């Protein structure tokens, strides 16, 4: 168990990527403002980072045309203490992430990049991942995730080619947390090489950076299609009915 290190000034800026058009979700207006358990989807993510003493600023990445609506529905009605600013979404998620990282204010050493469509992330999971990075200066970043529990198959067409040992595989989630300098250099290198990664960590990995996986709750689900709302809503309502979890989600004050 790591001894908690609380810097005198929060060292992390959160970048919440909420720029997707929601094509797979099937909602022309996107999914970030869909009501989930009484709040807009993206609000749950903002809330979790707002309650971390290690996060001193939040950047929300969304289309410029959606800023006013995002602030009116997902931010202003809630009592957030952390300063929140915006960055413009790009054509791809990687472009949007780069925009968010560029918008990190001066003075922050680390950036925590999170999908706005993962509303189940908790403050405890965020703080734990940040602490891992703060305690090991040899790391360039950490990725929240879970060791694979399913048997994985390498398939060519429909034919199984190989069954790799699942002990080596993790399912990557967000947040993914990095040194701001490393992340900016990784994006610059990706642009120069016309490289498109599958996640933020892949940009750092290809530069030879050291990135560790940190176990986070398995229920840190991502809302991609409408069917995902049922389990996510059920989990949130369950947390709201539990005193300890309700404190973590911001439904009630911490004791």
DSSP 218: T
pTM exceeds 0.75 for this model: yes
Q: Which range among 21-25, 208-212, 245-249 has the greatest average pLDDT?
A: 208-212
Q: Are strands 154-156 and 159-162 parallel, antiparallel or unpaired?
A: antiparallel
- pLDDT, one tens digit per residue, over 147-203 is 999 999 999 999 999 999 998 999 999 999 999 999 999 999 999 999 999 999 999
- Whether residue 253 is predicted with pLDDT greater than 50 in this model: the reply is no
What's the mean pLDDT when you consider all of the chain?
90
Q: Residue 59's pLDDT is what?
A: 98
- Whether residue 207 is predicted with pLDDT greater than 50 in this model: the reply is yes
Give the lowest-confidence range in 18-32, 42-56, 69-83, 156-170.
18-32
What count of other Cβ atoms lies within 10 Å of the Cβ of residue 22? 18
Tell me the pLDDT band of 5, cut-offs 50, 70 and 90: low
Q: Are strands 211-215 and 39-40 parallel, antiparallel or unpaired?
A: unpaired
CA atoms within 13 A on the CB side of 107: 7
- Whether residue 25 is predicted with pLDDT greater than 60 in this model: the reply is no
DSSP for 116-161 reads TT-TT--HHHHHHHHHHHHH-TT-SEEEEEEE--SPP-EEETTEEE
- pLDDT, one tens digit per residue, over 222-235 is 999 999 999 999 99
């Amino acid at each position: 168990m790591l001894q908690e290190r609380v810097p005198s000034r929060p060292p992390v800026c959160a970048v919440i990527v909420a720029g997707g058009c929601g094509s797979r979700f099937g909602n022309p207006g996107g999914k970030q403002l869909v009501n989930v358990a009484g709040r807009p989807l993206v609000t749950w993510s903002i809330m979790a980072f707002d309650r971390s003493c290690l996060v001193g600023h939040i950047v929300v990445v969304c289309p410029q045309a959606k800023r006013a609506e995002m602030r009116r529905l997902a931010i202003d009605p809630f009592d957030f203490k952390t300063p929140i600013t915006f960055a413009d979404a790009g054509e791809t998620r990687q472009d949007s992430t780069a925009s968010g990282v560029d918008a990190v204010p001066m003075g922050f050493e680390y950036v925590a990049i999170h999908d706005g469509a993962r509303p189940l992330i908790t403050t405890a999971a965020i703080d734990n991942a940040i602490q891992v990075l703060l305690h090991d200066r040899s790391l360039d970043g950490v990725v929240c995730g879970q060791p694979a529990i399913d048997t994985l198959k390498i398939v060519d067409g429909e034919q199984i080619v190989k069954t790799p040992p699942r002990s080596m595989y993790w399912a990557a989630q967000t947040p993914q947390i990095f040194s701001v300098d490393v992340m900016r250099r990784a994006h610059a290198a990706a642009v120069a090489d016309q490289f498109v990664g599958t996640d933020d960590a892949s940009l750092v990995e290809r530069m030879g950076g050291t990135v560790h996986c940190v176990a986070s709750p398995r229920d840190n689900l991502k809302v991609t299609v409408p069917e995902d709302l049922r389990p996510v809503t059920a989990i949130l309502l369950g947390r709201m009915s539990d005193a300890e979890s309700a404190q973590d989600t911001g439904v009630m004050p911490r004791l």
